[in-house]
Amino acid sequence: MIPDGGNRSYRGGAQGFPQATEVKQMAPVLRTGPPPLPAGHVRRRALEDVLDRGADRDLTVLSAPPGSGKTSLLAAWVGDDHGRATAWVCLEPEDRDPRHLWRAVLGELAALSAVPPSSRLHRLVVSRSTVAPEFLAELTAAIAALPSPVRLVLDDVHHLADPISRQGLAMLLRDTGDRLRLVLAGRRDPPLPLPRLRMDERVTELRAEQLAFTPAESAALLAACGPDLTPAQVAVLHERTGGWVAGLRLAALSLRDHPDPDAFLAGFSGDERPVADYLVDEVLAGLTEAQQEVLRRISVAPRVPAGLAPRLAGRDDTAEVLDDLAHTTGLVAGSGARGDPYRLPELLRSHLVADLGRRGPALVAALERAAAAWWAEQGAPVEALRHAGRAGDPTLLADLVGRWGPWLAGRGEHEALAATVGSAPTVDARLAVAAAHVHLARGDHEHARAALARARRDRRPGPDAAAFRAATERILGRPLRVTLREPVPSEPALAAHVRIGRGAAALRADDPSRARTELGMGLALAHRHGLDVLAHRGRCLLAAALWTAGDVPRAAAAAERAFAEPGASGPGTATWSAAARAVAAHAALLGADPGAARATVDASGDTGVGAAGDDGGDRSPDPTVAFAFRCARAGATVDLGERTAGLLALQAARAALGGTAVPGALAATAALLEHRAAVELGHPTAAGAVTAWLAGRHPASPALALLRGWGAAAAGDFAAARTAIAVLLVPPAPATPGALDVEAWLLEARIRLARADRPGARAAARRAVDLAAPRDALRPFVHADGGVRALLVDELATGEPRAGFVARALAAGATSPAGIALSGREHDVLARLPSLESFDEIAGDLDVSINTIKTHVRALYGKLGVTTRRDAVLVAHEQGLLG
């Protein structure tokens, strides 16, 4: 047995104690004086500070179950003043006679150095027959007359049962003025009017919640008691004991010589022999059998609201029993209200559950089913499923999953669904689909697909189960066609899954318009009903759908929002986040920011998926996402000046893809990147190979027209080039993520220049600008023909918004100006060259002569290596000298 504060100190000899013959006729002598601190005692300075702050109050109460450290805390606190003004009396169960209590109190008080020899306390005597009210009145008057305050500690005050003793406590509190500070420690509240004292701010209280050790205190105690534990093992033990000091000490004793601490901790519970003995002897012994039975029955639930308690205990007065135990023993925490359910200390609860189990598994299962049914009635599926799982009732489990599965999966409550995994091999679509979502949350798509295959073997799944299964399969990538006969369920969570599943199917079927509609409706439902995990998946799919539809700015915004949503973190999110990051990388590439594109890819581990295992990464990387990432990184490599390395990387990505099908928009984007790099490096064979690859996969792709046009232009056959791209110049041109229409008009401008049609070329270039500006499509201008870029210089003088975009387009891909040094006046002149001002007008603006301006212009041309004003502006933009 481990008392609250370690070993008690037994001191007799206080004056007024009866002779030995009298002791035999009455109860044993009370123990007096504070006990020595136990080995490995941990000072609890924060709680001692609470006691210090309450030192000027009439009453201090420590009320908590046995083994909570009440005695040790008080002994350490009292020890700081060496007991000079503190009298200490500890009661035991056999100390029922009030004469013993008041003799001990009187003797301890009279022995204090703070009590002068003249005090009446030295002359008072407790009658041998009874404790009269007159004695108590004289005692309180003597204390009230002391020259300085004293402190009286009564430990284990719950043993105080005699009415006279209780009356004496009330008199001490009421009649001693400010000369006595009463400190009472026990397993239940003392028989005093605590509510009124709280209202008058006359009492300081410490209860079980405050006396529980913090993680740091638990670590310090375990370190002092001997077992060599890792921080993780200490954390497990702290959680298992709830910071209960007796439990920690008992565990430490058992661990000292245990060969396998992890094995011990895995099985450590309230049913361990030393813990169980202590709980039975010290904690439960003072309770009636009826009270113990109530605690046993509610122990199946970690938290027990007031409505659940009578269902489990089978008696209408259960709440009253628990409230009484909460107020009188501290064994029960909470009030039973919805926000503050009843709770038992974890070690006590595990002991009671084991004790309950020894009465037969049928009783435990019946109580678990009752709890599951009650929580289901309250609309709390997480708790209902946990109890149903422990009940081992597949039918109940399947019914609950069928009702709540979509909501739980959408919110990410996969721990609750995990209880269904063991039941999933039975051919029940509800359990199998729930298991699939558990595997999805773990990033294990292979086992998720296997679970869905089991679900398909259920020939009578019911309409909701069938809809949930189909939605899950579509989200996972199975190309299930949506038929007109498929209704959208009325239940919101299931409807959100169905909509997002349909959107995923439409995206994979190259129908981005339908995908955007379905995903938008599904996202609205998911957000409205707090389905964060489903919303994250839907947002990532929407980013892909917007990108496929050519709405790259909105796609990038959707991707950024997906990263910031509540469901974006945690296990199993890597695959979905990777799809959004691939969109962000390609958007950065189109926006002529290859550095950002490469950084986005690198942040996702190149392939866009995490490593397999405990970190939540996907164990079977999505080849489409991996291909998108590799293409984005290779395209960034090209744009950063490493063209050969970038071309080789693009070819390698295509080879790694093998025969895996990818959406047409992604295939076209990859082909455009590779073809352009091949043409710019003068490799027509490589350009022809990627054209043939795209034609074999997507023969109707509009990107083929541009590839053929680029190839013909590179060969100098501008007539064939014009014929190839004609389909792209007829409005409305298809919107694509690769900005085919912009690319086509830039090629048209090049063709017009080759035919010496400068007005036509200028008009085509202007058309390209107008198409590109709303989409911020800058990359096509980085790779545009030099003559076309020179034409764009004239657009700088047309005013906003076109001029602003043209300036950015010309500056996109700018090289470092480190080798070009300009004077301040040359900068002033250069800044005015893009305007339509003449040299005379520029001279007037700068208040210098025309000859000075011409001198500066000649110097600028020389430094830039050009001979015309237009070329000077173009090179200045390319060199980053003009913003």
Q: What is the pLDDT of residues 46-79, one digit of tens each?
A: 999 999 998 889 999 998 888 889 999 999 998 8
Place of tokens 């269902």: 311
Instruction: Decide if domain 824-878 falls under CATH 3.30.470.20.
Output: no
pLDDT at 484 (0 to 100): 63
Q: Average of pLDDT values for 25-46?
A: 74
Cα–Cα distance between 544 and 663 in angstroms, integer?
A: 10
What residue spans define the domains of the chain?
A: 20-211, 213-268, 392-478, 479-567, 636-811, 824-878
pLDDT at 31 (0 to 100): 64
Q: Is the per-residue pLDDT at 654 higher than 70?
A: yes
Confidence of residue 525 (pLDDT cuts 50, 70, 90): very high
Cα–Cα distances in angstroms (integers) from residue 501 to residues 537, 567, 732, in the given order: 10, 17, 30
Q: Average of pLDDT values for 350-377?
A: 91
Could you say which DSSP state residue 731 is in?
S
Specify the pairing of strand 203-207 against strand 59-63.
parallel
Q: Average of pLDDT values for 449-460?
A: 89
| CB burial string 416-438: b at 16+ within 10 A, e below | bbbbbbebbeeebbbbbbbbbbb
pLDDT tens digits for range 664-712: 999 999 999 999 999 999 999 999 999 999 999 999 999 999 999 999 9
Least confident of 301-305, 604-608, 642-646: 604-608
Could you say which DSSP state residue 734 is in?
P
Q: Is the per-residue pLDDT at 253 higher than 90?
A: no
Confidence of residue 9 (pLDDT cuts 50, 70, 90): very low
Mean of the per-residue pLDDT values for the chain?
84
pLDDT at 823 (0 to 100): 60
Q: Which residues pair with 59 in a beta bridge?
A: 182, 203
Q: Is the per-residue pLDDT at 607 higher than 60?
A: no
CATH class of the domain at 479-567: mainly alpha
pLDDT tens digits for range 715-726: 999 999 999 999
Write phi, then psi, for 634 (nearest 5 degrees): -65, -40
pLDDT at 2 (0 to 100): 36
pLDDT at 29 (0 to 100): 44
% the chain with pLDDT above 90: 45
Q: Is 510 exposed, middle or buried (0-12, 13-18, 19+ CB in 10 A)?
A: middle
Tokens representing residue 704 in the block: 């083929």
Q: Average of pLDDT values for 108-122?
A: 91
Confidence of residue 28 (pLDDT cuts 50, 70, 90): very low
Does the pTM of the predicted model rise above 0.85? Answer: no
pLDDT at 609 (0 to 100): 38
The helix-helix angle for 869-878 and 850-864 (nearest 10°) equals 50
pLDDT at 27 (0 to 100): 41
Q: Do 457 and 436 touch, CB atoms closer than 8 A?
A: no
Q: Do 409 and 428 touch, CB atoms closer than 8 A?
A: no
Single-letter code of the amino acid located at 598: R
Confidence of residue 856 (pLDDT cuts 50, 70, 90): low
Task: Pick 422 or 62 by higher pLDDT.
Answer: 62
pLDDT at 82 (0 to 100): 59
pLDDT tens digits for range 184-241: 998 888 888 888 998 989 999 998 889 999 999 988 988 888 778 888 988 888 888 8
Place of tokens 């950063």: 640
Which secondary structure element, helix H or strand E, spans residue 180, and what is its range? strand 180-186
Q: Do 41 and 76 touch, CB atoms closer than 8 A?
A: yes
pLDDT tens digits for range 463-495: 999 999 999 999 988 877 777 678 899 999 999
Hey, is 865 helix, strand or coil? coil
Task: Pick 254 or 427 by higher pLDDT.
Answer: 254
Q: Is the per-residue pLDDT at 618 higher than 80?
A: no
Cα–Cα distance between 295 and 313 in angstroms, integer?
A: 8
Cα–Cα distances in angstroms (integers) from residue 215 to residues 47, 71, 201, 221, 239, in the given order: 15, 20, 31, 10, 8
pLDDT at 83 (0 to 100): 60
Q: Average of pLDDT values for 17-31?
A: 38
Q: Average of pLDDT values for 153-171?
A: 88
DSSP per position, 614-678: TT-B-SS--HHHHHHHHHHHHHHHHHTT-HHHHHHHHHHHHHHHTT----HHHHHHHHHHHHHHH
Radius of gyration of the chain (CA): 41
Cα–Cα distance between 655 and 669 in angstroms, integer?
A: 16
Identify the CATH number of the domain defined by range 20-211.
3.40.50.300
Cα–Cα distance between 521 and 514 in angstroms, integer?
A: 11
Confidence of residue 407 (pLDDT cuts 50, 70, 90): very high
Cα atoms in the Cβ-side hemisphere of radius 13 Å centred on 375: 26
pLDDT at 656 (0 to 100): 92
Tokens representing residue 429 in the block: 């679509």
pLDDT at 228 (0 to 100): 82
pLDDT at 425 (0 to 100): 52
